[in-house]
Amino acid sequence: MDLILVIVYSLNNYMKGQNRDDVKKGLMVDILLKEDQGSGKLTRGIVLDILTNSPFHPHGIKVRLESGKVGRVKNIIE
């Protein structure tokens, strides 16, 4: 039973970056930059703009960070 709870918790946290409603300006997030797709290196920053218009994107909502970097949200830092 505990394993099932861990899997559900992990899926819920992972999916937060895929739903536009979960991504807000001012949130700290980890994004995957296009140039880092091969390595999987994540970049952390504060959301300045939300660039994806659709309510869901399977690879993560695209955002612009305050640093100017653009990528898809992989984690929301709570």
Helix (H, G, I), strand (E, B) or coil at 26: coil
Tell whether the model's pLDDT for residue 2 goes beyond 80.
no
Residues 6+ apart with CB under 8 A from 26: 46, 47
pLDDT computed for residue 78 by the predictor: 82
User: Considering the entire predicted model, what is its pTM?
Assistant: 0.80
Instruction: State the residue range of the domain holding 54.
Output: 2-76
Burial of 12 (0-12, 13-18, 19+ CB in 10 A): exposed
Q: How many domains does the chain have?
A: 1
pLDDT digits (tens, 9 = 90+) for 16-74: 799 999 999 999 999 999 999 999 999 999 999 999 999 999 999 999 999 999 999 99
pLDDT digits (tens, 9 = 90+) for 42-56: 999 999 999 999 999
CATH code, domain carrying 6: 2.30.30
Helix (H, G, I), strand (E, B) or coil at 69: coil
Q: How does DSSP classify residue 54?
A: S
